[in-house]
């Protein structure tokens, strides 16, 4: 098993969810036991010694690997959800997407002080969702934040929008 084989399992879908968008579909990776396990194992090895106490994941595809990784790292799982999905008091952030606007929320009691977290999502495109998530996380007294994506779309330069001191890792790069 190697990273290029696993990367090659990601399906490309053109004009989805709307015309002009080149969608990277991870369901073709996730359905293969060996590929799914490989990705979780690689991410576990990357973060196992970082002292991570919570995995924060974005709805909805981020939940898939994030849950498995939280289990492997013996960490808690904190969801960032779309409006109307969280039952308790929460923070809200509105932000722009590459093809519209959106809103995300996180529970106000998601963390204790000085936790070390890993923010995980499946895709870094323009960076809007991840930046909005980091803005939500600024409401908490956290020790350290690591940021991880399964896929990074290099031509969209999303990484350039983040603070250069932020530890960002993407497993797969697409040009």
Res. 99 pLDDT band, cuts 50 70 90: low
Q: What is the pTM of this model?
A: 0.95
* 61 tagged catalytic: yes
Domain 51-174 fold: Rossmann fold (3.40.50)
Of 57, 61, 62, nearest to 79 by C-alpha is 57
Q: What is the pLDDT of residue 96?
A: 78
**Placement of tokens 């936790």 in the chain:** 115
Q: What is the pLDDT of residue 98?
A: 63
What is the rounded distance in angstroms from the CA atom of residue 97 to the CA atom of residue 66? 22
Residues 6+ apart with CB under 8 A from 119: 56, 57, 58, 130, 133, 134, 137, 145, 146, 147, 148
Catalytic one of 61, 115, 152, 159: 61
> pLDDT of 13-54, one tens digit each?
999 988 988 999 999 999 999 999 999 999 999 999 999 999
Determine whether 132 is exposed, middle or buried from the number of CB atoms within 10 Å of its CB (0-12, 13-18, 19+). buried
């Amino acid at each position: 098993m190697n990273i290029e084989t696993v990367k090659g399992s990601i399906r490309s879908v053109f004009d989805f969810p709307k015309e002009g968008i080149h969608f990277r579909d991870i369901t073709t990776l996730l359905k293969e036991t060996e590929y799914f396990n490989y990705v979780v194992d690689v991410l576990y090895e990357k973060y196992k010694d970082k002292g991570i106490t919570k995995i924060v994941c974005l709805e909805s595809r981020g939940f898939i690997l994030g849950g498995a990784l939280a289990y492997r790292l013996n960490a808690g799982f904190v969801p960032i959800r779309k409006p109307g999905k969280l039952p308790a008091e929460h923070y809200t952030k509105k932000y722009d997407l590459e093809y519209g606007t959106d809103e995300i929320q996180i529970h106000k009691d998601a963390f204790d002080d000085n936790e070390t977290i890993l923010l995980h999502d499946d895709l870094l495109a323009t960076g809007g969702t991840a930046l909005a998530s980091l803005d939500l996380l600024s409401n908490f007294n956290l020790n350290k934040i690591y940021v991880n994506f399964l896929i990074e779309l290099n031509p969209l330069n999303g990484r350039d929008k983040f603070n250069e001191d932020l530890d960002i890792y993407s497993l797969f790069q697409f040009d």
